[in-house]
Each structure stands twice: as structure tokens, then as C-alpha cells.
Amino acid sequence: MTDSLQGRVALITGASSGIGAATATLLAERGARVALLARRKDRLDELAGRIVDAGGTALGVAVDVTDADALKAAAEQAAAEHGPADLVVNNAGVMLPAPIEELRTDQWQHQIDLNVSAAMHTIGAVVPQLVAAAAAGRPADLVNTSSIAAQNIFPNFAVYAATKAFITHLSRHLRVELGAKDVRVSAIEPGIVGTELQRHVTDEGAQDWLAESKQTVEWLEPEDIAEVIAFTAALPRRVNLQQVTIMPTRQAS
């Protein structure tokens, strides 16, 4: 399956680090042209350069995905330079756990803006491209990054978990709606993955929990999730993995 994505055009949000960067790298290795969307232009340029140096095709577009108009323009730019997307990895997100009684409304809103609103902006910007690709007889995939927090209960993660539950439930509905047009929709639900998300956590209790977890559990790596996304997209057009949960072997829940 090393060249199974040859000719695909992928658009990845949150592409400057973590799961997004790993996925962009792997998709490019397997033949896809990749458009990298995120805020940090320097990181995008560096990643795109590495992909090109390795023989792939990559375009970095710096954009704030919480800005619907800017995101639409970025998707149009990527389509004009690379071709319309037929594989979208809707991946941008942030995790900011804290006890609800602390009333960290700034963090609540930031998670909603990025994990929910920006995800919807991305879908709005790319669905016409995906529907057109499917109508032309090509595979078309919308892959939404969710979390096991969508299904499980973690104290102090209420707002983050709720945003991810939104993504998983949205994906189920979109799969039915867009599946009738041959667009596949998948929700990817990882357990703990070692990314920059943990460095954004400010709550001491959550920091302690993560630190303890790292002593007993070998966390997933971004490349593990990238492999699952690449596998999902490479399946025959008739096959749709609706929801994939990926856990570290030692993580219980």
C-alpha cells in the first residue's frame, strides 16, 4: 500500500505539528499532493520543504482556521495550486482541561472556537470539492479527528470532551448525508497521543494526571494515527470506516 494514495489531493488542517504534520508527511510519501493549513507559517514552510526534499509535493498555506472567510480563501488557493481536495483531514484542535468551578470561560470558548467552529468552517470550505471528486468517480474522504473523550468520562475534561463528542456525532450524521453522494466520512478517536496538546494544559491536576500516565503507559505517537488515516483513505471506494478508536495498549480508558 506504499503508493496507494498516488494522485490523491489532501488538505490537512492543524498541519504544523503533531498528528497533522505526521499525516501530511505520510500521505505525501504514499503519493498524495498535500496542502498544509495552520497558523504558523514558519512551521508550514519547514514541513513543506522536508516533504519536497523527500520527493513529495506540498503547499503550505498559513491561515487561522477559526476565521471562516480566511479558511475558505485558503481552501480555494490550495485547490487552484494543487487541484481540488479529495482527502480532507479535519484535524486542528486544542485541549484545555480544568475544573468547571474555575469558570475558565476563556478556555471554554477557545476550545469551542477551534474544536467545533473551525471544524465546521473546514467542512463548509471543502465539502463542495469532495462531492465533486466523488461525482467524478474518485475516492473522496472527510476524516475528522475526534478523541476517546467523545465516549468516555474524564474529570475536568468536560468542555474538551463535549467538543469531541460533537465531532463524533457530527461525523455519523455527515456519513449518512454525504455517503449517498459517495463521500466517505470517518471519525478518528485516539487515546493519549504525545503531541503539543499536552504542553497547552495549564491545570495542575490534569498535568499531574498526564505525567502519571506517561510513567505507566507508552503513549501513541502521531505517526500511529497517520498510519490509520492513510489506511482508511486507501481502502476501496465502497468501504467506509465510520469510527476508529485507537488506544495505547496499556491505557485502560
The DSSP 8-state label assigned to residue 91 in this structure reads -
Q: Does the annotation mark 231 as catalytic?
A: no
Residue 145 predicted with pLDDT over 80: yes
| Residue scoring higher pLDDT (4 or 8) | 8
Q: What is the mean pLDDT of residues 221-246?
A: 97
Average pLDDT estimate for 183-206: 87
pLDDT in tens, 51-72: 999 999 999 999 999 999 999 9
Q: How far apart are CA 171 and CA 231, in angstroms?
A: 18
pLDDT in tens, 200-218: 788 787 788 788 888 899 9
* Band of residue 195 on the pLDDT scale cut at 50, 70, 90: confident
CA atoms within 13 Å, Cβ hemisphere of 229: 35
Residue 3 banded pLDDT, cuts 50, 70, 90: low
Confidence of residue 179 (pLDDT cuts 50, 70, 90): very high
- Tens digit of each residue's pLDDT (9 = 90 or more) over 102-114: 999 999 999 999 9
d(CA 129, CA 131): 6
Predicted local distance difference test score (pLDDT) of residue 209: 77
Single-letter code of the amino acid located at 187 = A
Closest CA to 160 of 226, 100, 209: 100
Active-site residue among 56, 160, 161, 191?
160
Q: Quote the pLDDT of residue 214.
A: 84
Kindly give, in sequence order, each residue whose CB lies less than 8 Å from that of residue 118, ignoring residues fewer than 6 positions away.
13, 65, 66, 71, 92
Query: Nearest CA to 9 among 93, 104, 65, 83?
Result: 83
pLDDT of residue 2: 53
